[in-house]
Amino acid sequence: MDTKTTLTKSETAAQPETILVVDDEQAIRDLTCDYLRAKGYQVLQATNAAEALRMFSEKRGGIHLMLTDMIMPGGNGPDLAAAVRNMGLRVPVIFMSGDADRSADAENLGKDAVVLQKPFSLAALARVIRSALEKRSKTAASGSGRGGSEAQA
């Protein structure tokens, strides 16, 4: 093997996408974050909407997807997504809900909203995240900048 032309993994690998996980339940947050890290994502975590908004302010464009609980003390997922959108950021959002009634209200979030009903499998989580990130990449590649997806914050 010619060592002059061999690239290291770090030189050839793309930067991993960053996912912000927002959930007030520590056990769910920890399990989700550990799994996503094992899948190769950079993961940030917040326990509430205010903390999540602070991270969006600090990272300005460095967060590629938000996975948020629908109901949390001090705010809810749909209001958090609206606040992120009001910051001028277009980030895909996946909502998690342990309340079947809230999951049924997904149509109120927009036609492209994704709501995962707790408990969900990690495999289902991985599929939904990958799909949302690929859709985001296609939107960015088409040059539409604004995205147009109502599920995006």
Residue 94 has φ and ψ, to the nearest 5°, of -115, 125
In a domain, 48, yes or no: yes
In a domain, 43, yes or no: yes
Radius of gyration of the chain (CA): 16
pTM of the prediction?
0.80
Domain span including residue 129:
15-139
**Distance of alpha carbon 39 from alpha carbon 16, whole angstroms:** 10
pLDDT in tens, 55-101: 999 998 899 999 999 999 888 999 999 999 999 998 999 999 987 65
Based on the structure, what is the number of domains in the chain? 1
Please report whether residue 145 resides in a domain: no
Percent of the chain with pLDDT over 70: 74
How high is the mean pLDDT of the chain?
A: 81
pLDDT on residue 25: 94
What confidence tier does 138 reach under pLDDT thresholds 50, 70, 90? confident
In angstroms, the CA 139 to CA 62 distance is 17
DSSP 39-94: TT-EEEEESSHHHHHHHHHHHTT---EEEEESEETTEEHHHHHHHHHHTT---BEE
- What letter represents residue 48's amino acid? N
* Residue at 153 is within a domain: no
Percentage of the chain lying above the pLDDT 90 cut: 56
Q: Does 3 or 16 have the greater pLDDT score?
A: 16
Of the two residues 153 and 129, the one the predictor is more confident about is: 129
State residue 10's pLDDT score.
Answer: 35
**CA terminus-to-terminus distance, the chain:** 47
The yes-or-no verdict on residue 3 having pLDDT over 60 is no
- Residue 151 within any structural domain of the chain: no
At residue 139, the pLDDT reads 75
pLDDT band at 6 (very low <50, low <70, confident <90, very high): very low
Report the CATH number at residue 100.
3.40.50.2300
> Taking the C-alpha atoms of 10, 33, 106 and 123 in order, what is their torsion angle to the nearest 10 degrees?
70
